[in-house]
Amino acid sequence: APVLKGPVLDGAPDHLQHYYGKDYFTIDDSQEPVDVVKALKDYKVDVILINLPTGSHDAARFYVDAACEAGCGVVNGIPELIASTPAIADKCKKAGIPVIGDDWKSQLGATIVHRALAKLFEDRGIKITKSYQLNYAGNTDFINLVMRGETKHVTKHDAIASILKHDVPIAPGFAFVDNQGDQKTAIICIEGQKFGGAPVSLNLKLDVIDSPNSGGISVDAVRCCMLAKDRGMAGAIEEPSSYFMKHPPVQHPDDQCRAMLEDFIAGK
């Protein structure tokens, strides 16, 4: 597959070029950006997969607009609110293209584990008084999360808060630790009260290699987007979005998400 240069928008932030004296990439100024819509049509692209750096507000929307014009499906894996923004989802629907998003819920990551544990507390009648999640790694994604991670805070917070029946103070946090490399560590803490007000506290540490953690999820999301495209569906596709993404258009408990996805794949 050819590698084509797109327009350099906010997907190439200055802080990644010179972060603590280290250059993580350079921009090739020897060639002009291609006409993205023309390239998508020339190569008969079925689905665009958005994996731009966190915080790429303008670039993500640029590629959604290009997909609408070129007739491509969209899978948005980054914490920009695309499928979950009604105006953008409606634009995709009018263009006749399906969109799945937003922000990968990794195969086994901090969000899915945190959701499961928080729901367990609530299902067992434990009142959660506070909960936090601290994530740190040494890759470029965590530089972006530290420098411009506002939307990631939203997607992580909402992914956990949405499944609980009561308002709970939930705080996600991020740190860049250079010598961690691509190993991501998540510290999850949930505090609550059980019968008679007796306190209970859970602390969990999760270590994963970050980059491949959404690999299988992204493959399945692209497959589901293509299923939707083949079936003539358009706009935000709720079932795969709810299972694969932290911030889908509609949040559901994870067991329900799985059942909805299986029904979607089967065409029910």
Amino acid letter at 251? Q
pLDDT at 11: 84
CA distance linking residue 55 with residue 40, whole number of Å: 24
Per-residue pLDDT of the chain (268 residues; tens, 9 = 90+): 789 999 989 988 887 777 767 777 888 889 999 999 999 999 999 999 999 988 899 999 999 999 999 999 999 999 999 999 999 999 999 999 999 999 999 999 998 999 999 999 999 999 999 999 999 999 988 988 888 777 776 777 777 777 677 777 788 889 999 899 999 999 999 999 999 999 999 999 999 999 899 999 999 999 999 999 999 999 999 999 999 999 999 999 888 999 999 999 999 9
CA distance linking residue 200 with residue 191, whole number of Å: 6
| Three-state DSSP class for residue 244 | helix
CA distances from 194 to 104, 122, 123 (A): 33, 10, 12
pLDDT tens profile 227-263 = 999 999 999 999 999 999 999 999 998 889 999 999 9
CA distances from 136 to 30, 177, 193, 254, 256 (A): 36, 6, 28, 25, 30
127: part of which helix (H) or strand (E)?
strand 127-137
pLDDT at 20: 67
| Three-state DSSP class for residue 32 | coil
Task: Kindly state the DSSP code that residue 178 receives in the 8-state scheme.
Answer: G
Which domains occur in the chain, in start order?
14-105+214-266 (3.40.50.720), 110-211 (3.30.360.10)
Amino acid letter at 184? K
Q: List Cβ neighbours of 177 (8 Å cut-off, separation of 6 or more).
A: 136, 137, 138, 142
Could you tell me how many helices (H) and strands (E) the chain has, helices first?
Answer: 10, 8
Q: Is the pTM of this model over 0.75?
A: yes
pLDDT at 163: 67
| Three-state DSSP class for residue 75 | strand
Both tokens of residue 62?
């640029």
Neighbouring C-alpha atoms within 13 Å toward the C-beta of 249: 18
pLDDT at 235: 98
CA distance linking residue 85 with residue 248, whole number of Å: 9
